[in-house]
């Protein structure tokens, strides 16, 4: 005799439990560090297309420590050419790590040097495509490489631009003439 | 809901005593007696073997509205099948429910009925007394009236003991999912009853010649390694071999090389060149050939030990089961005249499960491409979109190794060795995996968070683990893939066996089925369809593909990892022997 007893039609998928581990735990990656720099040659990146995720600012880069400071406009004259007017663009790499790309603004005559111009073009392109840049020393520009694969869209940090700037420059804002950086540049310390 | 409302036709706690037919392991069971106790009324029935043999069906309700309860129910279902009875519609296995509740936690008294009763503090028969009674049953009789009564009392003591256990667990049981697990125990019995067809002539030749060929086998295989002294595997020579070949090997806390079979198994995946030594050690370490349990009808049958591993996978005896670690022995599998067997395995099961459950669309797209390794390389921008397996073979191999490395939790150093590339390249590949599949990695990280913060993980059908300290993040991370893979294969076993397909055995992510040659191809198509349905049910609609290897009589099964060893053994037998075995060559 067959042991086969017809099992009533039963949809086992109704037994499915969610596999959404961690969802109720609210464990979130806290972004505590946002570098301000040009992306490295191997790093594909995307810049946020929204104007709200750009920030015009004066910055000063300490070449020895590679620290980047925001400079209050009122102190721009004190630092002279050392304070550069830039637009900071929010960007992320393929792992979703955020960073700010400083793109120098054109000078009073409306032009930029080829390095800056090619960087600005790369950032513009990165608003719609995954790109990476590499310095071409012979040509004096950044070469632009666009990913040909159909890559997933970028994942943006869940933060407002104010908070991003705050995180990127926490403790690195030159807001007084007494600031140690200005003091050092004036040879007072 | 009260028991009487849920199962108005009764809840029947049952236990059989049995021994294998002709006292030969590998043969189906011969029931000696049956005890039944109805849970609600407490009423008891006892039947002796000769009464059972004439019954056409179980002597208690087994249809809708009734529940059958047993401890390790596949054994009871084996007896049902041996008696030609229809299997019960609703089956609850208290062993499985006990395992599910304690999985990951220490069970100091073991997983048997005695262990479960002691775990919850219920009085129970001592194990020694139980062993004594088992031996009496296994003796096979004939028994005096006094012994018969003792056996029946013993049989009844198990159903008596199950009653408080069920009462204790009743309100905690997740009934729909528990009955689903019970449904699998019926499939297990069906598969155990079918068994795997074995070439008994070749098996006998191996056993008879084993002593003669052992030495030659060591000499033949060890010539490439130099790690044996006489018939002894030397750890120091193995260490020297690993150093010569620049292979990193796991070590114990003491600093010594880990030399257990599991380590060899894992390492063989990363370094296939060490596989022959694993095969040889495995063949020599136990008399595996003689341990294989083959019935009088030439079929390998053994307990599949369902739900025995932490992931809920089956864990049959390594030495009794033909699909144990000695892969060369699998060439003993040979269909009978007029029959064929098919080995159907899910294609890249772990990758597919990870893609579906993490809801990583890029990973799903890679799986659906049919070649996830090449698709991963394309998605990472490492090869052009028009690349094929032929045009970019070496890149594909590297990306394949990277996918497997992620699945095994391998680091950059081990991956570098595996692919023969600098560590920097391995790091780059692992980084590309993270970049290409960020959603998968977030889900994977959250899995570890869930286990550590909430203390448990679960599968789609409710198999749970409550990991105890110290946590092993690598195995926690891998749990959803392994344990849901187990769910998928369980469901496939259910679907296939209930469709009347002869399933010989489940093997990790594969099934071996058997059929007459005239309908073999159609049966394989049906089996693949049902396996796809099982994958979709587990993965919320995402279907996995399967690969199939068909063997028609007089062909034999061949696992490529064991082919070299099998051919060596056959060659040596032929050399040493009286009886030519040319037909056994793979």
Q: How far is CA B111 from CA A135, B16, B184, B309, in A?
A: 65, 19, 19, 12
Query: How high is the pLDDT of residue B418?
Result: 78
| CB contact at 8 A, B34 and B46 | yes
Decide if pLDDT at B579 tops 80: no
**Whether residue B178 is found in the same domain as residue B216:** no
DSSP string, A61-124: EETTTTEEEEE-GGGHHHHGGGSEEEEEEEEEETT--EEEEEEEPP-TTS---HHHHHHHHHHH
Is residue B388 a part of any domain in this protein? no
Look up residue B126 and give its DSSP letter: -
Decide if pLDDT at B561 tops 90: no
Higher pLDDT residue, B545 or B213?
A: B545
CA distance B103 to B459: 13
% chain A with pLDDT above 90: 59
CB contact under 8 A, B180 and A12: yes
* Tokens linked to B74: 């596949």
Is residue B316 a part of any domain in this protein? yes
Query: How high is the pLDDT of residue B580?
Result: 47
Is residue B378 a part of any domain in this protein? no
Which residue in A3, A95, A151 has the most chain B C-beta atoms within 10 A of its own C-beta, making it the best mutation to test that interface?
Answer: A3
The verdict on A25 touching B (C-beta cutoff 8 Å) is yes
Is residue B306 a part of any domain in this protein? yes
Q: Find chain A residues with C-beta within 8 A of B357's C-beta.
A: 19
Query: How high is the pLDDT of residue B249?
Result: 87
CA distance B212 to B200: 19
% chain B with pLDDT above 90: 73
The minimum CA-CA distance between B183 and chain A, rounded to whole Å, is 9
How many beta-carbon pairs below 8 A join chains A and B? 108
The verdict on A15 touching B (C-beta cutoff 8 Å) is yes
Burial class (CB in 10 A: 0-12, 13-18, 19+), B423: middle
Q: Find chain A residues with C-beta within 8 A of B538's C-beta.
A: 16
How does pLDDT run across B413-454, given as a tens digit for each residue? 888 877 878 899 999 999 999 989 989 999 999 999 899 888
* Least confident segment among A111-125, B267-281, B490-504: B267-281
Q: How far is CA B491 from CA A93, A132, B69, B182, B287, in A?
A: 41, 47, 20, 11, 34
**Whether residue B77 is found in the same domain as residue B148:** yes
**Whether residue B13 is found in the same domain as residue B106:** yes
The verdict on A3 touching B (C-beta cutoff 8 Å) is yes
How does pLDDT run across B151-174, given as a tens digit for each residue? 999 999 999 999 999 999 999 999
**Whether residue B184 is found in the same domain as residue B205:** no
Select the residue of A5, A19, A151 nearest B86 (Cβ to Cβ). A5
Is residue B382 a part of any domain in this protein? no
The minimum CA-CA distance between A154 and chain B, rounded to whole Å, is 10
Beta-carbon contacts of residue B119 (< 8 Å; ≥ 6 apart): B98, B102, B107, B108, B109
Query: How high is the pLDDT of residue A8?
Result: 55
The verdict on B453 touching A (C-beta cutoff 8 Å) is yes
Confidence of residue B211 (pLDDT cuts 50, 70, 90): confident
Higher pLDDT residue, A85 or B267?
A: A85
**Whether residue B66 is found in the same domain as residue B105:** yes
User: A73-94 burial, b if ≥16 CB within 10 A, otherwise e?
Assistant: eebbebbeebbbbbbbbbbbbb
How does pLDDT run across B89-118, given as a tens digit for each residue? 999 999 999 999 999 999 999 999 999 999
Query: How high is the pLDDT of residue B584?
Result: 43
Query: How high is the pLDDT of residue B586?
Result: 45
Task: Specify the CATH number for the domain of residue B281.
Answer: 3.30.70.370
How does pLDDT run across B367-401, given as a tens digit for each residue? 999 999 999 999 988 899 999 999 999 999 999 99
* Least confident segment among A153-167, B60-74, B88-102, B353-367: A153-167
Query: How high is the pLDDT of residue A3?
Result: 55
Confidence of residue A188 (pLDDT cuts 50, 70, 90): confident
Which residue in B382, B437, B446, B455 has the most chain A C-beta atoms within 10 A of its own C-beta, making it the best mutation to test that interface?
Answer: B446
Cis omega (within 30 of 0) on the bond before B554? yes
The minimum CA-CA distance between A7 and chain B, rounded to whole Å, is 7
How does pLDDT run across A99-147, given as a tens digit for each residue? 999 999 998 888 889 999 999 999 999 999 999 999 999 999 999 999 8
**Whether residue B219 is found in the same domain as residue B127:** no
Query: How high is the pLDDT of residue B389?
Result: 94
The verdict on B498 touching A (C-beta cutoff 8 Å) is yes
Confidence of residue A14 (pLDDT cuts 50, 70, 90): confident
Q: Which helix (H) or strand (E) holds B552?
A: strand B546-552
Is residue B563 a part of any domain in this protein? yes
**Whether residue B154 is found in the same domain as residue B218:** no
Which of residues B177, B194, B211 is at a domain's end? B194
Decide if pLDDT at A41 tops 60: yes
**Whether residue B153 is found in the same domain as residue B286:** no
**Whether residue B186 is found in the same domain as residue B43:** yes
Query: How high is the pLDDT of residue A54?
Result: 95
Q: Find chain B residues with C-beta within 8 A of A148's C-beta.
A: 381, 384-385
% chain B with pLDDT above 70: 98
Query: How high is the pLDDT of residue A153?
Result: 87
Query: How high is the pLDDT of residue A9?
Result: 59
Q: Find chain A residues with C-beta within 8 A of B500's C-beta.
A: 2, 4
**Whether residue B169 is found in the same domain as residue B311:** no
Higher pLDDT residue, B493 or A186?
A: B493
**Whether residue B170 is found in the same domain as residue B74:** yes
What integer is the mean pLDDT of A18-35? 84
Is residue B250 a part of any domain in this protein? no
| CB contact at 8 A, B572 and B219 | no
CB contact under 8 A, A21 and B498: no
Task: Specify the CATH number for the domain of residue B73.
Answer: 3.30.420.10
Query: How many domains, chain B?
Result: 2
Q: Which of residues 85-144 of B touch A (CB under 8 A)?
A: 85-89
Decide if pLDDT at B583 tops 50: no
CB contact under 8 A, A21 and B453: no
The verdict on B190 touching A (C-beta cutoff 8 Å) is yes
Structural domain boundaries, residue B286: 200-227+272-348+484-584
Is residue B205 a part of any domain in this protein? yes
Higher pLDDT residue, B111 or B285?
A: B111
Q: Which helix (H) or strand (E) holds B1?
A: none
Q: Find chain A residues with C-beta within 8 A of B375's C-beta.
A: none
**Whether residue B215 is found in the same domain as residue B121:** no
Give the count of alpha carbons within 13 A of B494, CB side only.
Answer: 24
The verdict on A30 touching B (C-beta cutoff 8 Å) is no
- Kindly report the average pLDDT of chain B as a whole number: 92
What integer is the mean pLDDT of A74-79? 89
Decide if pLDDT at B585 tops 80: no
């Amino acid at each position: 005799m067959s042991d086969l007893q017809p099992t009533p039609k039963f949809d086992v998928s109704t037994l499915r439990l969610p596999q959404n581990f961690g969802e109720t735990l609210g464990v979130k990656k806290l972004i505590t560090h946002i570098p301000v720099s040009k992306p490295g040659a191997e790093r594909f990146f995307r810049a946020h297309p929204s104007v709200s995720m750009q920030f015009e600012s004066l910055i000063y880069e300490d070449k020895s420590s590679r620290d980047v400071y925001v400079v209050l406009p009122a102190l721009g004259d004190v630092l002279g050419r050392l304070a550069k007017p830039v637009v900071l663009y929010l960007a992320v790499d393929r792992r979703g790590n955020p960073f700010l790309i400083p793109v120098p603004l054109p000078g009073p005559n409306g032009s930029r040097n080829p390095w800056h111009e090619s960087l600005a073009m790369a950032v513009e392109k990165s608003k719609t495509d995954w790109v990476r840049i590499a310095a071409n020393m012979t040509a004096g520009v950044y070469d632009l490489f666009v990913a040909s694969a159909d890559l997933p869209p970028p994942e943006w940090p869940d933060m407002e631009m104010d908070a991003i700037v705050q995180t990127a420059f926490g403790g690195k804002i030159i807001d007084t003439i007494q600031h140690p950086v200005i003091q050092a540049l004036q040879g007072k310390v | 809901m009260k028991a009487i409302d849920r199962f108005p036709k009764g809840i029947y706690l049952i236990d059989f005593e049995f021994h294998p037919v002709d006292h030969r392991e590998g043969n189906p069971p011969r029931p000696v007696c049956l005890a039944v106790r109805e849970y609600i009324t407490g009423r008891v029935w006892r039947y002796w073997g000769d009464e059972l043999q004439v019954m056409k069906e179980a002597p208690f309700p087994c249809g809708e509205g009734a529940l059958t309860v047993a401890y390790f129910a596949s054994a009871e279902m084996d007896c049902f099948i041996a008696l030609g009875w229809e299997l019960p519609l609703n089956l609850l296995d208290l062993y499985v429910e006990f395992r599910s509740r304690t999985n990951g936690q220490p069970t100091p008294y073991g997983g048997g009925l005695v262990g479960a009763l002691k775990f919850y503090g219920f009085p129970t028969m001592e194990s020694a007394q139980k062993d004594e009674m088992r031996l009496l049953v296994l003796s096979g009789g004939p028994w005096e009236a006094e012994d018969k009564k003792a056996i029946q009392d013993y049989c009844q003591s198990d159903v008596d003991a199950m009653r408080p256990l069920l009462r204790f667990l009743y309100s905690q049981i997740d009934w729909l999912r528990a009955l689903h697990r019970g449904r699998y125990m019926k499939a297990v019995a069906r598969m155990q009853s079918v068994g795997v067809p074995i070439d008994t002539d070749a098996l006998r030749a191996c056993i008879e010649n084993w002593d003669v060929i052992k030495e030659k086998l060591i000499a033949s295989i060890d010539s490439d390694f130099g790690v044996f002294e006489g018939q002894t595997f030397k750890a120091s020579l193995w260490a020297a071999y690993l150093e010569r070949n620049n292979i990193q090997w796991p070590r114990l806390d003491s600093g010594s090389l880990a030399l257990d079979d599991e380590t060899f198994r894992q390492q063989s995946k990363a370094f296939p060149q060490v596989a022959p030594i694993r095969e040889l050690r495995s063949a020599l370490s136990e008399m595996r050939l003689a341990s294989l349990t083959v019935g009088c009808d030439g079929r390998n049958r053994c307990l599949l030990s369902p739900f025995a591993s932490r992931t809920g996978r089956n864990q049959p005896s390594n030495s009794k089961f033909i699909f144990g670690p000695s892969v060369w022995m699998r060439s003993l599998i040979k269909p009978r005249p007029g029959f064929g067997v098919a080995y159907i395995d899910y294609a890249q099961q772990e990758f597919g499960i990870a893609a579906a459950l993490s809801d990583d669309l890029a990973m799903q797209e890679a799986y659906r491409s049919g070649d996830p390794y090449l698709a991963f390389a394309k998605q990472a921008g490492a090869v052009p979109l028009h690349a094929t397996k032929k045009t970019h073979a070496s890149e594909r191999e590297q990306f394949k190794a990277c996918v497997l490395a992620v699945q095994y939790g391998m680091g950059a150093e081990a991956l570098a060795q595996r692919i023969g590339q600098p560590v920097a390249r391995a790091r780059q590949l692992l980084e590309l995996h993270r970049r290409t599949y960020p959603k998968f990695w977030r889900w994977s990280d959250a899995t570890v968070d869930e286990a550590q913060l909430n203390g448990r993980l679960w599968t789609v059908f409710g198999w749970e683990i409550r990991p105890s300290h110290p946590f092993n993040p690598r195995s926690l991370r891998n749990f959803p893939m392994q344990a849901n893979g187990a769910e998928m294969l369980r469901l496939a076993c259910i679907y296939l066996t209930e469709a009347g397909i002869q399933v010989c055995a489940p093997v990790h992510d594969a099934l071996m089925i058997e059929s007459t040659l005239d309908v073999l191809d159609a049966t394989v198509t049906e089996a693949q369809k049902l396996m796809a349905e099982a994958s979709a049910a587990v993965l919320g609609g995402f279907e996995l593909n399967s690969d199939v290897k068909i063997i028609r009589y007089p062909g034999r099964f061949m696992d490529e990892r064991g082919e070299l060893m099998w051919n060596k053994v056959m060659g040596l037998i032929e050399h040493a022997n009286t009886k030519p075995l040319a037909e056994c060559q793979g």
